[in-house]
Structure formats: structure tokens, C-alpha cells
């Protein structure tokens, strides 16, 4: 009986089902830990995507310092392309290998996030995203501009994966800011 079931599904369908189950589990665990955190919405691919998180009891400088420490500890050398501080606003260019599946290929996701601070809050903004297709990165734009139906279908399937991925980044940043343990 199991052989018959697996013959009906191709490998990519099974991969999507497993990815969706993993993302759902991760989302449920994350949401149960901190229900007050806002979530990103990938119903469309219009950028920038922005959430603002309130950090009660922390000053702007402390939030910024914790965020800079978080960037150094969260991203590996292979993931972090560039990090810069421009007038108190932090920009992070990073890549996540094999996060997406587009046209039956595992694709890297390259993204830029901007983190700014004000009044015991931080603003996390996804400025842009692109996926690696063979040897080049192609920008992800609003779905209504896509004429390739296979690509559009794959990007729609990727919505929960991207939502979970960026919500996990936000949760990790949030927990790092609230942590009273300093890395050294």
C-alpha cells in the first residue's frame, strides 16, 4: 500500500508536503512562545515588507547594541554577505542556501533586511529578495508581473516557507534583545 501512495506523488510534491509540515510545526512552536510578535505576510510579493516590534523596558541604544551582537552571532560567514550601520540603521544582506524550490531546483534565497530603532521599538523591514536560478540571482517581484506560470505557482507555494523563515528571524532577534546574557 505505501508504494502505491508514493507512486502517485512525485518527489517535488512530497518535498513540498514535508516542507509545509515542518513550517507549520515551526510556526506553531514560535507563535506559542511569543504570541504578541507581529508576523510577515507573503500573500503578495510587494516590497518592502515591514513589522514594528515594541520592546518595553529597553532603551534605543541597548536595542541597537543587542541587534548588532545578534547579527554577529546569528549569521554564519557563509550566510552573511554584508552588514552595515548607516546613521543608526542596520542593513543586512544575507543568503539562505536551498530555502526555495523553483522549477524543480533547490534555490538559494538572497535578501536584504533593514533594522531601524525608535521609542523602545525596532522596525524590521524586508527590502528585497531574490532567488538563485542556476548561476544568477533573479529578483522576486509582485506576482501579477510574472508571466511564467510555473514560476508563479512555485512562488505561491513558497509563501508559508518565507513567512516562517522571516518570522523565525524576527523571533530570534526579539529573544536576543530581551536576553540579559551578553555574548563575549
* Phi/psi of residue 84, nearest 5 degrees: -145, 155
Instruction: Work out the percent of the chain whose per-residue pLDDT is above 70.
Output: 77
Which of 37 and 5 is assigned the larger pLDDT? 37
Rounded CA gap, 166 and 174, in Å? 12
Model pLDDT for residues 78-114, shown as the tens digit of each residue: 999 999 999 889 999 999 999 998 888 899 999 999 9
Q: Is the pTM of this model over 0.85?
A: no
pLDDT at 122 over 60: yes
Model pLDDT for residues 7-22, shown as the tens digit of each residue: 444 555 555 555 554 5
Q: What is the DSSP letter of 144?
A: G
Which of 9 and 171 is assigned the larger pLDDT? 171
2-178 has which fold? Alpha-D-Glucose-1,6-Bisphosphate; Chain A, domain 4 (3.30.530)
Domain range list for the chain:
2-178
Residue 182 grid coordinates: 551578553
| H/E stretch holding 114 | strand 105-118
Pairing of strands 49-54, 105-118: unpaired
Which residue stretches of the chain are H helix? 2-8, 11-33, 60-74, 149-178
Amino acid at each position: 500500500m505505501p508504494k502505491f501512495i508514493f507512486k502517485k506523488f512525485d518527489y517535488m510534491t512530497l518535498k513540498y508536503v514535508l516542507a509545509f509540515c515542518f513550517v507549520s510545526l515551526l510556526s506553531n512552536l514560535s507563535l506559542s512562545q511569543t504570541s504578541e510578535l507581529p508576523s510577515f505576510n507573503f500573500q503578495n510579493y510587494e516590497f518592502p515588507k515591514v513589522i514594528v516590534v515594541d520592546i518595553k523596558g529597553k532603551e534605543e541604544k541597548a536595542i541597537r547594541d543587542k541587534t548588532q551582537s545578534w547579527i554577529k552571532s546569528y549569521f554564519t560567514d557563509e550566510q552573511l554577505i554584508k552588514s552595515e550601520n548607516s546613521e543608526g540603521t542596520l542593513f543586512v544582506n544575507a543568503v539562505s542556501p536551498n530555502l526555495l524550490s523553483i522549477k524543480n531546483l533547490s534555490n538559494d534565497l538572497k535578501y536584504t533586511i533593514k533594522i531601524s530603532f525608535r521609542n523602545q521599538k525596532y522596525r524590521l523591514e524586508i527590502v528585497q529578495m531574490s532567488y538563485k536560478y542556476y548561476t544568477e540571482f533573479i529578483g522576486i517581484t509582485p506576482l501579477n508581473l510574472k508571466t511564467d506560470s510555473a514560476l508563479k505557482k512555485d512562488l505561491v507555494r513558497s509563501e508559508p516557507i518565507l513567512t516562517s523563515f522571516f518570522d523565525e528571524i524576527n523571533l530570534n532577534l526579539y529573544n536576543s534583545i530581551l536576553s540579559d546574557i551578553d555574548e563575549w
